[in-house]
Amino acid sequence: MEYFADLHVHIGQACSKPVKVTASRQLTLDGIIRTCMEIKGIDIVGLVDCASPYVLREIKNKIDSGELIELSKGGLSYRGNLTLILGSEVETQERGGVAHSVAYFPSIAQMEGFSNIMSKFINNIGLSSQKARLSARELLSIVKDLGGKLVPAHVFTPFKSFYGSCYERMSEAFEERFNEVTAVELGLSADTQLADRIKELSGKQFVSNSDAHSLNKIGREYNIVRLDAPDFENLFEALEGKSNRRRILANYGLDPRLGKYHRTCCLSCNYIAEEPPPVSKCPRCSSEKVVMGVLDRITFIADYDEAVHPRGRPPYYHQVPLEFIPGVGKKTLERLLKAFGNEMNIIHHSDPEELRKVVGEAVTEKVLAAREGKLKLKVGGGGVYGKIVL
């Protein structure tokens, strides 16, 4: 069967305590479950703050009450309709700075074991994505010994990522164990076309996840996976690319131009580069105080001028989330959800004539143009998302 999977969703609070301090307090376990099922159409969600004792306590309470059931092959099932994958985003200390990875585990017991170990290397284990006194290679060893999987996160963003701020080659971080990293997360400002310009990634699977810091951001990027069942074992066989039955069928994500770090941005005059990449200083005011864009960074470190896709690389489809489309406000979205069930159906499958009946001609044409990649976009950079230009 085919499943929609978003494997990077943060938890803002648990047990009335803050967890991911930069995330919305509405990002609770209940809020995430409800949003995935009733609004977004997500089948498998990765919760990346589960090393927090507050999150662990809430999950265990839901297991005890019967709301969540531990699956024999890993993961937690909510009433047979949504699978929760337990993850923990960790910040490691690297040669050029710090980088984020997500450690995933099959069971609550393994995640508890990971939390206990990481509390020795993190000052406040209750909070998410705290800096660990570990390197990525050391973290990988801990995760593997506990029976987990490690996925480097948003690997090209200019802050807290392997390529964006630490290394020109991620293999330098993991050394001889780089082959044990089977999947990497691309991030909002990159896609397969950009990532496959780097030779060492040809043997890695790509995942595209939302890194949601609020409920409405869940599912803005996701993966379609073919699995025998929606559990941890099946999912990571797909992410390892070893089986044709269990595999990633496609990645869906923002057009990279909409990402908030796609092009270099000047910190002095706020100019976002339009010149051919790579741009490493401001073309307008000549300042060298810039946030280098993902496109610029990849162009600078790339092995190839154009993407060289390995055989079997799944397609990457650009999508424009409904929140980016002018005219789709809260009330319009409510009408759309009532008519079509969830955002996946609206964006990708809704019939044009039915759309027109629900929201009129103007909004329908924008939704269809977004679906077909025909919208004119203003490129993002420096922490500011790109936007649709009417």
SS3 content of the chain, % helix, strand, coil (to 5): 35, 20, 45
Average pLDDT over every residue of 121-140: 94
DSSP conformational letter for 315: P
Q: pLDDT for 278-315, tens place per residue?
A: 999 999 999 999 999 999 999 999 999 999 999 999 99
Q: How far apart are CA 99 and CA 94, in angstroms?
A: 7
Q: Using H for helix, E for strand and C for coil, what is the string for 152-208?
A: ECCCCCCCCCHHHHHCCCCHHHHHHHHHHCCEEECCCCCCHHHHCCCHHHCCCEEEC
Domains of the chain listed by start with CATH number: 2-256 (3.20.20.140), 322-380 (1.10.150)
Bond before 278 cis per omega within 30 degrees: yes
Closest CA to 294 of 155, 156, 153: 156
- The distance of Cα 275 from the centroid of its chain, to the nearest Å, equals 28
Q: Which residues contact 214 (CB under 8 A, 6 or more apart)?
A: 23, 24, 26, 27
Statement: residue 58 has pLDDT above 80: yes
Whole-number pLDDT of residue 324: 87
Whole-number pLDDT of residue 129: 81
- Partners of 252 in beta bridges: 222, 317
Q: How many CA atoms lie within 13 A of 372 on its CB side?
A: 8
**63, 56 contact by CB (below 8 A):** no
| Cβ neighbours, 10 Å, residue 103 | 26
Angle at 347 between CA 346 and CA 349, to 5 degrees: 65
Whole-number pLDDT of residue 372: 86
Higher local confidence (pLDDT), 9 or 243: 9
Backbone torsions φ then ψ of 55, nearest 5 degrees? -65, -45
Statement: residue 390 has pLDDT above 80: no
Sign of torsion, CA 79 150 244 191? positive
Q: How confident is the model at residue 152 (pLDDT cuts 50, 70, 90)?
A: very high
**Averaged pLDDT score across all residues of the chain:** 95
pTM: 0.94
Closest CA to 71 of 249, 280, 311, 232: 232
Whole-number pLDDT of residue 375: 86
Query: Tokens 């593997």 map to which residue?
Result: 144
Query: Tokens 């105080």 map to which residue?
Result: 289
Q: How far apart are CA 139 and CA 141, in angstroms?
A: 5
Which helix or strand (DSSP H or E) is residue 245 part of?
A: none
First to last CA, the chain: 39
Exposure string over 308-330, b if 16+ CB within 10 A, otherwise e: eeeeebbebbbbbbbebbeebee
Whole-angstrom Cα Rg for the chain: 20
Closest CA to 70 of 55, 57, 85, 48: 85
CA distances from 223 to 11, 32, 256, 287, 318 (A): 20, 17, 16, 39, 12
Q: How far apart are CA 132 and CA 381, in angstroms?
A: 28
CA distances from 9 to 46, 72, 142, 353 (A): 6, 23, 22, 34
Q: pLDDT for 319-367, tens place per residue?
A: 888 888 988 998 999 999 999 998 888 988 899 999 999 999 999 999 9
**57, 125 contact by CB (below 8 A):** no
Two structure tokens written together for 63: 């297991």
CA distances from 82 to 21, 35, 56, 208, 246 (A): 26, 11, 18, 19, 18
**30, 22 contact by CB (below 8 A):** no
Report the DSSP pairing between strands 247-254 and 17-18.
Answer: unpaired
